[in-house]
Chains A and B, each alone.
Chain A
């Protein structure tokens, strides 16, 4: 599979642009329904969450399948999450608030769902900035990895942002939350197992001796 990567990467790159292309086309041809601007903002938000979850599923998928080449796609997917998040934020700032900064500021302070969304975006920005190879080298692998664990907080805040926004029907946010907890839970299980294995290492050395005596 790894040898197809040079082909797979550009293909995936284009595929990830399909949602925004469809929205652009729909906007131009007036097929986004009665309230196209709301539809646009919501869709961009949904795709931000989708890409966050897709990015977070790379590691579990890699560990379960053994397809290590998947790692080669993770950065692009993560950057697409940021790309859609940026568009989502822009549509709020422009089409929802028309750059009324006073109103935007009040919104951020007063409305928990905006507070959560804005925080998520602010946490995502440094991850996008430090996504280059040069930045990874400069930070060093360990520190880079610690920093990029922020993506867990970003995803949790993103789901919270969605859940606090809906009026009554929380079935969609619950679906997103469940998937996210599954993806994070996988990491916890892996971590717990590795802890156990480390703890088990000295025991294994001792047990045979005990058994012999």
Chain B
């Protein structure tokens, strides 16, 4: 049941990305291009998403437990550490180069465009590289496994 709910949530999320125009790199780059013809779309998408998810999260906080699982896995970390900063810079570099982030990239797979498939393969490879890189540092393995359960942000 939880997997079915998760599927439906993925479907609604993807639907939102398509309808909002956020699967189109040109619209994302238009928002990021503050020195050109600025496209405010992404700001409106984020504002609407934040209002609805903020209200939904407030409801979720009132729940004793989620409808289909044992507990809410709210992220627990609060520190702004070096990994967060460096990772966000690297992510921003890639996002600015292509105008695609993970959600829109996955939604665009449905169109079977070779360039999108290459991007998703490279993105997946980047994620695997991050896991392999963690595994080289003994202390990071523990951090990595703990973060799988509750402390990841997203």
* A associates with B: no
Interface residues of B (CB under 8 A from A): none
